[in-house]
Structure formats: structure tokens, C-alpha cells
């Protein structure tokens, strides 16, 4: 035996690989989790504009914190194997000892995977129920309801639920406010700190109402009242997109909304209601119902043309001035 040939490792001289791997892993996993929670979390989508959005941001951060140690373990084991257990010159004809069962490794594996799966199941369920459906549509009769009083009218200051019907059609969104005479707007205006019930529906094909910053995404199906909840927490602008391929102009099916103070919302809503009443638009709209009857649309379109010229409905219903920027 020359000095160049490595000696076959004997059980006594072999380093404690498991302990070593665990030591490196715990340091890396802790560092990654701290980075995710403290540095990355505030920038995760969809932001923190509403209760639903905050829950989603929190969920993504928690899932990332749960996943990072697993990913780091896999990569660490991979790299450690390549570096420490690689075949060195002269070892090409030697193989590792065959392994038949290893109680400690097997028990650790079964316990580890069980804990991870059960944790994800419990966490996911809690976060689905917590914000009343996690910002998704729950159909016409929701299992998890958002706290708030139902009323035929809405005024600032109370805990009255604001009802907003969201109407998808090829290729735009409009919003109807039953507590303000059923007036309809092409901008989604919401008061801050107010529980909101969206009644999402469609006039034609299947769309999907996606108010990105609010963390709300709900299918818009014709003749279906799909209920989704949200409470906006900060003032700001909202982008509404269609999230389901619905025809040739699907990509252009978006508009905007604003979360404003409760008093600004009330004066905006009263203003649109009285203008639509004065112009005869309210009388032309179908009576408010949980699904939208599109048979009046041709007549409505003709009247809008008379009043508003070539701009039509979109130009008419926009709020006259943006209440966010004076
Ligand atoms: Cu669409």
C-alpha cells in the first residue's frame, strides 16, 4: 500500500455526517427563513390593501418559510454528497456498504413528512375560513360569511355591509350599487374599512372578476350570483382584470377602481345616483336582482347614445372627478 492510496474508511474514523449535515442545515434554514419573513414578505403580492390581500401575503410568506428548509435540505444533501462522498482516484472499483433498513432514518422520514403535510392542511383550512373564503367566490350561499349588518341603505360610520354587484360582459366590467337606488358605474368605488359583499355575475359568457390589489378573484357566470367578500384597509387604486379567456378582446377587459374615505364614497354614490335619475338612466336599468337581466341592454344603449353621444356607457358612468386626487 503506497501513501497515495486512500485508506478504506473504518467505522471509527468516519465523521458524524448526520450531525454535520444537521448543523449546516439548521444555520442555512434559519437564515433563509429570517430573510423571507423580514425582507421579502412586505414585497409579496398582492400587497396589503385589504383583509383578503393581507391574508394572502401572509399565506405566501408562511408557505415560503415552510418550504425553504425542505429545499435547502435537498440541495445541501446533494452538494454534500458530491463533495464528501465523491469517488476519489483509486476508489473506482469500491462500492459503499449495502444498507438494509435504518430505523432512525425511517422514523425521521415518516415523522417529518407527516408533520409537514398535516401542518399545511391545518394552516390552509384556517386561512380559507379566516377571511371568509380567502377572497374567492363562494357561490350564491356562502359557507363562511363576513361579519356585517345587512341593510337596504348604507351610511358612513356603521358596520353596515356594502353590496356591490359586479357585472362582467364582453368586454368590460360595470358595478351596481343596490343601496344607492341600483345605480350602475363603470368604476369600482369602495369605502375604506367597510365590509363589502360582491355579487359577481355576467351578462354573456364566463368571466373572472380579479380585483388584484384587493386579493379578490371570483368567477363571473351568467345567471349565477357568486358571492365574494372583502374589507379594504387602505386608500388607493385598484386594477380590475378579467382572469378567464372570454373572447377576442379578453386582454382589453380591465378597468379601475378606488378605495376612498367613507364620506367621499357616500357623496360620489349619491352624486351618480341623482345624475342617473335626472338623465332617466335609472328608470331604463332593469330592477336590481342577484343576476342581471340583459334584455334591456339595446334600449339602454340607445338612451345612453342620446344623452352621452359617442362615448356611450363607459364615458357616462365614470365618476366626474377622481376623489383620490383632488
Ligand atoms: Cu372576460
Report CA(68)–ligand 1 centroid distance (Å). 36
Which residues fall inside 5 Å of ion ligand 1, going by CB? 207, 242, 246, 253
State the DSSP string of 272-321.
Answer: HHHHHHHTTHHHHSPPP-SS--GGGHHHHHHHHHHHHGGGHHHHHHS-SS
Report CA(121)–ligand 1 centroid distance (Å). 32
Report CA(208)–ligand 1 centroid distance (Å). 6
Task: Write down how long the chain is.
Answer: 326
Report CA(255)–ligand 1 centroid distance (Å). 12
- pLDDT for 301: 60
Report CA(201)–ligand 1 centroid distance (Å). 11
Report CA(256)–ligand 1 centroid distance (Å). 15
- pLDDT for 297: 64
- What is d(CA 323, CA 258) in angstroms, rounded to the nearest whole number? 8
- What is d(CA 62, CA 60) in angstroms, rounded to the nearest whole number? 6
- pLDDT for 298: 61
- What is d(CA 121, CA 310) in angstroms, rounded to the nearest whole number? 54
Report CA(281)–ligand 1 centroid distance (Å). 25
- What are the strands, taking DSSP E only, across 120-253? 162-169, 172-177, 183-185, 188-191, 195-202, 207-211, 216-220, 226-231, 236-242
Report CA(214)–ligand 1 centroid distance (Å). 18
Report CA(289)–ligand 1 centroid distance (Å). 21
Report CA(211)–ligand 1 centroid distance (Å). 13
Report CA(239)–ligand 1 centroid distance (Å). 14
Are residues 280 and 325 in contact, defined by beta-carbon separation less than 8 angstroms? no
Report CA(247)–ligand 1 centroid distance (Å). 7
Count the alpha carbons within 13 Å of 257 in the hemisphere toward its beta carbon: 27
Tens of pLDDT along the chain (326 residues)?
444 544 455 555 788 998 999 999 999 999 999 999 999 999 999 999 999 999 999 999 999 999 999 999 999 999 999 999 888 888 888 787 888 888 988 999 999 999 999 999 999 999 998 888 888 999 999 999 998 888 999 999 878 999 999 999 888 899 999 999 999 888 899 999 999 999 999 988 999 999 999 999 999 999 999 999 999 999 999 999 999 999 899 998 988 899 999 999 999 999 989 988 888 888 878 888 887 766 666 666 665 555 544 334 444 444 433 444 33
Indicate the pTM of the whole model: 0.81
- What is d(CA 81, CA 309) in angstroms, rounded to the nearest whole number? 74
- pLDDT for 296: 63
- pLDDT for 310: 36
Closest listed residue to residue 80, CA positions, set 132, 128, 20, 127: 20
Amino acid at each position: 500500500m503506497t501513501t497515495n492510496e486512500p485508506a478504506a474508511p473504518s467505522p471509527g474514523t468516519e465523521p458524524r455526517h448526520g450531525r454535520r449535515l444537521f448543523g449546516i442545515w439548521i444555520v442555512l434554514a434559519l437564515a433563509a427563513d429570517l430573510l423571507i419573513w423580514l425582507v421579502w414578505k412586505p414585497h409579496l403580492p398582492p400587497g396589503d390593501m385589504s383583509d383578503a390581500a393581507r391574508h394572502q401575503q401572509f399565506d405566501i410568506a408562511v408557505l415560503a418559510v415552510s418550504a425553504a428548509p425542505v429545499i435547502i435540505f435537498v440541495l445541501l444533501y446533494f452538494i454534500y454528497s458530491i463533495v464528501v462522498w465523491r469517488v476519489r482516484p483509486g476508489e473506482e472499483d469500491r462500492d459503499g456498504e449495502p444498507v438494509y433498513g435504518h430505523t432512525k432514518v425511517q422514523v425521521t422520514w415518516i415523522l417529518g413528512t407527516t408533520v409537514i403535510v398535516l401542518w399545511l392542511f391545518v394552516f390552509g383550512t384556517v386561512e380559507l375560513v379566516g377571511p371568509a373564503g380567502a377572497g374567492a367566490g363562494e357561490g350564491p350561499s356562502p359557507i363562511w360569511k363576513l361579519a356585517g349588518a345587512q341593510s337596504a341603505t348604507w351610511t358612513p360610520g356603521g358596520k353596515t355591509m356594502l353590496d356591490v354587484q359586479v357585472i362582467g360582459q364582453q368586454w368590460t366590467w360595470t358595478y351596481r350599487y343596490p343601496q344607492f337606488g341600483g345605480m350602475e358605474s363603470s368604476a369600482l368605488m369602495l369605502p375604506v374599512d367597510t365590509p363589502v359583499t360582491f355579487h359577481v355575475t355576467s351578462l354573456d359568457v364566463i368571466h373572472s372578476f380579479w380585483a388584484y390589489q384587493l386579493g379578490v378573484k371570483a368567477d363571473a357566470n351568467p345567471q349565477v350570483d357568486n358571492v365574494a367578500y372583502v374589507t379594504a384597509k387602505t386608500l388607493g387604486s385598484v386594477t380590475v382584470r378579467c382572469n378567464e379567456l372570454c373572447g377576442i378582446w379578453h386582454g382589453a377587459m380591465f378597468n379601475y377602481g378606488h378605495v376612498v374615505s367613507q364620506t367621499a364614497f357616500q357623496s360620489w354614490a349619491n352624486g351618480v345616483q341623482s345624475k342617473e335619475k335626472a338623465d332617466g338612466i335609472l328608470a331604463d336599468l332593469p330592477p336590481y336582482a342577484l343576476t342581471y337581466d340583459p334584455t334591456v341592454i339595446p334600449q339602454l344603449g340607445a338612451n345612453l347614445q342620446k344623452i352621452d353621444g359617442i362615448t356611450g356607457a363607459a364615458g357616462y358612468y365614470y365618476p366626474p372627478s377622481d376623489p383620490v386626487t383632488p
